[in-house]
Amino acid sequence: MPVPNIITVLPKSIAAGANVAANSAIRLKALLVVIVMFLFAVPAFASAPVCMYQDVQSGPATGGEGGGGVYVDVYGANFGSSLSAVTITVNGTTVTNKIYLGADNTGNRQQLGFQVPSGTTGSGNIVITTPGGSCSNMIFTVRAASIY
């Protein structure tokens, strides 16, 4: 004697419940697939950079290596891990000579080193922009001086 299909021999209310359970399992699997795809396909959201302090507040914009100005280090957090993803301006002039991005000597902060570009004038903000946002709470003043 052939084995009957269990759904056909159960009362309709139980059979309907079995179908609902099967559909729920399919929906749950589909949801899990979407969650996994999201977690592995979407990069983590970057946090906005935090500028804590700088080592030089004023200096020349000429007379240094390659005709540029003084070197400045900014300390903070969330600068990222790639210099190419960071944009820096000093008093509105874009920095082209970015030197260093990494941990400072304490290991508690990040350090970002750059050279003040030739042609920078006046006093204004250092603006650091990353994929997560920007910080602009530090001021640099260009002054006449010699770099030795």
Q: Are residues 126 and 92 in the same domain?
A: yes
Asked whether the beta carbons of 79 and 130 are under 8 A apart, the reply is yes
Query: How far apart are alpha carbons 35 and 43 in whole angstroms?
Result: 14
Q: Are residues 71 and 130 in the same domain?
A: yes
**DSSP-based three-state secondary structure for 126:** strand
| CATH number for the domain harbouring residue 135 | 2.60.40.10
> What are the beta bridge partners of residue 70?
none
Q: Are residues 37 and 101 in the same domain?
A: no
* pLDDT score for 73: 97
Q: Are residues 54 and 120 in the same domain?
A: yes
* pLDDT score for 145: 86
In a domain, 76, yes or no: yes
What string of pLDDT tens digits covers the 148 residues of the chain? Answer: 566 555 555 455 554 555 555 566 677 676 665 565 555 554 556 799 999 999 999 999 999 999 999 999 999 999 999 999 999 999 999 999 999 999 999 889 999 999 999 999 999 999 999 999 999 999 999 999 878 7
Both structure tokens of 80:
């990222």
Contacts 24+ apart (CB under 8 A), 32-37: none
Domain that holds residue 35: 6-41
Counted domains in the chain: 2
Alpha-carbon distances of 131 from 15, 40, 58, 67, 95, rounded to whole Å = 54, 19, 28, 30, 17
* pLDDT score for 94: 98
* pLDDT score for 56: 96
- In 3D space, the residue among 113, 72, 115, 81 whose CA is nearest the CA of residue 96 turns out to be 115
* pLDDT score for 126: 98
Asked whether the beta carbons of 89 and 109 are under 8 A apart, the reply is no
Residue 17 main-chain phi, psi, to 5 deg? -65, -40
In a domain, 62, yes or no: yes
Q: Are residues 62 and 124 in the same domain?
A: yes
